[in-house]
Amino acid sequence: MTIVPPEPGEPRRPHGPRDSGDAWVVADDGTRYWGRYGAAGLLALDPERGVLLQHRVAWSHHGDTWALPGGARHEGESACDGALRESAEEAGVPAEAVSARLISVFDVGIWTYSTVVADVVVPFEPVISDPESRELAWVPIDRIDSYPLHPGFAASWRTLRPLLDVRPVVVVDAANVVGSVPDGWWKDRAGAAERLMERLAAWRRGGVPAAALGLSEREWFPEIVVVLEGAARAAADVPGLRILRAAGQGDDAIAEAAASERAAGCVVTVVTSDRGLAERVAGVATVESVSWLRDLL
């Protein structure tokens, strides 16, 4: 493997000093990969408009093709941070407008390209904010194959396309999880629930290993539904989670939530060590124990 600077005219960054990651990684067979620390791109999926694609300028690497906004990662930068930074630089994507769902990694040993698949949660209009973009467009999923695609994106699209239909949801029996450790939770049920939810939110932000959810690819950011019952319903909301405050029995609310998510096509995991509840949801969800969740947290 060899690290070399960019050749004149490709790719170039006019904004400020060049980052140390802006260099080619050259394999022993001469194949070149852009990004000393790897590269990352954002697949922003809008439920109404499709996928945001960038028409690359002719002078860029594999110019005049369509691909995802993305580029070289900075040293120490996560895939998510790199994809969000690059998409903001090249297409004006607001970080708060998208929510990561999964990371798919193309790994050749000496170099990786990480595609962050993210759902658009706040509609926005992309803006050409970098000379590397000739055009930006929302392209319906079923029309993407008709575009002249960047070879790297064309190859990865075959893997990414089926994943766009996969939406993992984790439904958490909060009372069961909190009650599994005798740490005085009964003195302040709402406070104990809030502490659990803070940990769950941090867990989701960091990405969940695909194997833990029985899925493929590198890691996922599942939607987490936390069901609260009794005094725990007074717990405050925690950003990044969906909170269901059961009007009656928590088990009923969990079973209903699992069935509803499954009917919507989601891949559902219910976290509980309650055998009766586990039997109720077995037909619509994978059931994992409280210890499974605590080990991951």
- Say if residue 17's pLDDT is above 60: no
Which bin fits 184, alpha (ψ -120 to 50), beta or left (φ > 0)? left
Please check whether the domain covering 2-163 is classified as CATH 3.90.79.10. Answer: yes
Q: What is the pLDDT of residue 21?
A: 85
Q: Distance between CA atoms of 157 and 147, rounded to whole angstroms? A: 12
Which bin fits 238, alpha (ψ -120 to 50), beta or left (φ > 0)? beta
Q: What is the pLDDT of residue 61?
A: 65
pTM: 0.86
pLDDT 10s digits, 119-138: 999 999 999 987 877 899 99
2 pLDDT band, cuts 50/70/90, is: very low
HSE of 246 in the Cβ direction (CA atoms, 13 Å)?
22
Mean pLDDT across the chain: 91
Cα Rg of the chain, angstroms: 22
Question: Is there a contact between 171 and 177 (Cβ–Cβ < 8 Å)?
Answer: no
- Say if residue 99's pLDDT is above 90: yes
209 pLDDT band, cuts 50/70/90, is: very high
Question: Is there a contact between 66 and 55 (Cβ–Cβ < 8 Å)?
Answer: yes
22 pLDDT band, cuts 50/70/90, is: confident
11 pLDDT band, cuts 50/70/90, is: very low
Q: Which two tokens stand for residue 132?
A: 């590397």
pLDDT 10s digits, 213-263: 999 888 999 999 999 999 999 999 999 999 999 999 999 999 999 999 999
Element (H, E) at 163: helix 151-163
Question: Is there a contact between 221 and 163 (Cβ–Cβ < 8 Å)?
Answer: no
> Where in the chain are the domains?
2-163, 168-296
What CATH architecture applies to the domain 168-296? 3-Layer(aba) Sandwich (3.40)
pLDDT 10s digits, 156-207: 999 999 999 999 999 999 999 999 999 999 999 999 999 999 999 999 999 9
The domains spanning 2-163 and 168-296 adopt the same CATH topology: no
